[in-house]
């Protein structure tokens, strides 16, 4: 097909920036030059990759798939060039919410003791699965099942209880545990990375819900008494917050913590780190 790196960089920039104008600025080229490069790429692969209108631009389904692969290819190239001069880079682990809760520090400390020449870096992403597909991380910790695991291995590690997050002074704080029905007549704030959806409640018994963008907004909304929250128990360790108490939810199913990684690892220590994870979480594998 004679696809060149400049074609992949063009598609990656358009997917990242969302407009031809911003993508051209990011690539330091003119808008007409970027448009020509995209058209060349579409001609060479034989499918439409970008839906264009006078006001909006979006990737087609084919464009989205190639965009993710292009990011991975470009990231691998950058890694190879870096490693040629600086040596092996750290193993990168992505997460969205609370890494592994109270297991995080012991896990990373023991890894450093046993593998001092292979550092691990954790990176927070709002969508760690997407970051993994783009090659920005080598593996990702997930508390929600991937929508489409094609091209990924997704392995369960352990399970966490679900907790209710309740503001100080709320009547529920007098209880040792609560039930989903205790929250059903109250507003509940959702965050995609908190592993909570309205589907926890039976149809017809669901609370009024609204969504926020990130953990900081989620915590603030709860602490100020605007809503209650539901989350996994790792949050209690990683995100203690003034004005919030975490209470066990007696009738909510647990959250499975998973590790997702490419079928072809992007770092030579990926499987070694997976073995380390499995040993450190062996007391609670589902």
Question: For 247-280, how does the pLDDT look when each residue is reduced to its tens digit (9 = 90+)?
Answer: 999 999 999 999 999 888 889 999 999 999 999 9
Residue 87's pLDDT is what? Answer: 75
Per-chain mean pLDDT for the chain = 89
Strands of the 139-142 sheet, one edge to the other:
120-124, 91-95, 139-142, 255-262, 152-160
Give the fold, CATH level 3, of 162-253: D-Maltodextrin-Binding Protein; domain 2 (3.40.190)
Q: Which CATH number fits domain 90-155+257-284: 1.20.140.10, 3.30.390.10, 3.20.20.210, 3.40.190.10?
A: 3.40.190.10
pLDDT of residue 178: 96
Tokens 């969205």, located at residue: 96
Residue 140 β-bridge partners: 94, 260
Q: Do 162-253 and 90-155+257-284 have the same topology in CATH?
A: yes
**What does the DSSP 8-state code read for residue 154?**
E
Angle at 141 between CA 137 and CA 143, to 5 degrees: 140
Q: Which H or E run contains 124? A: strand 120-124
* Cα 155 to Cα 40, 113, 127, 240, distances in angstroms: 39, 25, 18, 28
**Inter-axis angle of helices 5-17 and 61-86, nearest 10:** 110
Which DSSP helix (H) or strand (E) runs through 92? strand 91-95
Architecture of domain 5-83: Orthogonal Bundle (1.10)
Q: Please, which pLDDT band fits residue 1 given cuts at 50, 70 and 90?
A: low
Q: Looking at 44-53, 188-197, 218-227, 254-263, which range is the least confident one?
A: 188-197
Helix axes 20-27, 31-45, angle to 10 degrees: 100
Residue 79: its pLDDT value, please? 77
Each domain of the chain, given as residue ranges in start order, spans: 5-83, 90-155+257-284, 162-253
Band the pLDDT of 38: cuts 50, 70, 90: very high
pLDDT at 228: 97
């Amino acid at each position: 097909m004679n696809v060149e790196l400049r074609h992949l960089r063009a598609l990656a920039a358009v997917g990242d920036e969302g407009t031809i104008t911003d993508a051209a600025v990011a690539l330091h080229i003119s808008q007409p030059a970027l448009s020509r490069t995209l058209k060349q790429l579409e001609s060479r692969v034989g499918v439409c990759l970008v839906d264009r209108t006078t006001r909006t631009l979006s990737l087609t389904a084919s464009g989205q798939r190639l965009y993710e692969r292009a990011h991975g290819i470009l990231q691998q190239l950058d890694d190879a060039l870096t490693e040629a001069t600086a040596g092996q880079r750290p193993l990168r682990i992505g997460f969205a919410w609370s890494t592994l809760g109270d297991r995080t520090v012991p896990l990373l400390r023991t890894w450093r003791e046993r593998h001092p020449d292979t550092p691990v870096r954790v990176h927070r992403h709002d969508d760690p699965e997407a970051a993994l597909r783009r090659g920005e991380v080598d593996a990702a910790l997930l508390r929600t099942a991937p929508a489409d695991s094609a091209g990924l291995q997704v392995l369960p590690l352990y399970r966490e209880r679900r907790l209710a997050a309740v503001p100080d002074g709320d009547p529920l704080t007098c209880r040792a545990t609560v039930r989903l029905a205790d929250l059903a007549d109250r507003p509940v704030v959702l965050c995609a990375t908190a592993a909570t959806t309205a589907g926890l409640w039976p149809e017809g018994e669901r609370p009024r819900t609204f969504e926020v963008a990130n953990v900081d907004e989620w915590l603030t909304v709860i602490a100020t008494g605007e809503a209650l929250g539901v989350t996994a128990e790792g949050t209690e360790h990683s995100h203690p917050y003034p004005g919030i108490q975490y209470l066990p939810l007696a009738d909510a199913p647990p959250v499975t913590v998973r590790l997702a990684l490419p079928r072809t690892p992007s770092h030579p220590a990926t499987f070694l780190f997976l073995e380390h994870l499995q040993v450190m979480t062996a007391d609670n594998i589902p």
